[in-house]
Amino acid sequence: MNDIAAARRIHIIQGEWKVANDPNAVISTILGSCVAACLRDPVAGVGGMNHFLLPGSAGAMSAGGDATRYGVHLMELLINGLLKQGARRDRLEAKIFGGAKTIASFSNVGEQNAAFATQFLKDEGIPIVGSSTGGDCGRKLEFWPVSGRARQYPLTGAETQKTVALEQRPVRTPPKPVDTSIEFF
């Protein structure tokens, strides 16, 4: 059986991240101007991917922005998720994808996203072992977190425009948990 048929597929959308240590897992996403960072620890056999819409900063998030849109937040969540699964920071390696300029009249947020991811990883001392950013087409990305293998497919113009429309929608936020505790006086 080929590796594609045997794969356990995990799809993420903007604002999400996933970590896996299953050799049959493949994490996928579709990117326009968004960026996905794929990190792994080859010794621990664990890896993961995030998908962020904007580079962001602590100031942008505290001003009422949804933290799940921002790279700074999702990079930290991904790294912490890997560490919880046994990865060591000094063994992490990264691949980054996305950051296309999908609409000519818009500012190039894709370029800003890619620059942010590159600088963040450099600042954290995490080597980038592969990268495919920029261009004017979206891409479908598949990442095997244990092996570090990545594969991307360019999207057609119509597929890219559909991806742009999805990226402009609000990020899904999980409902707040209902407090079921009862306090007696």
Residues designated as active site: 34
Rounded Cα distance between 90 and 76, Å, is 15
Count the alpha carbons within 13 Å of 142 in the hemisphere toward its beta carbon. Answer: 14
* Phi and psi torsions of 79, nearest 5°: -60, -45
Nearest Cα to Cα of residue 15 among 169, 120, 134: 169
For 128, the enclosing helix (H) or strand (E) is: strand 128-133
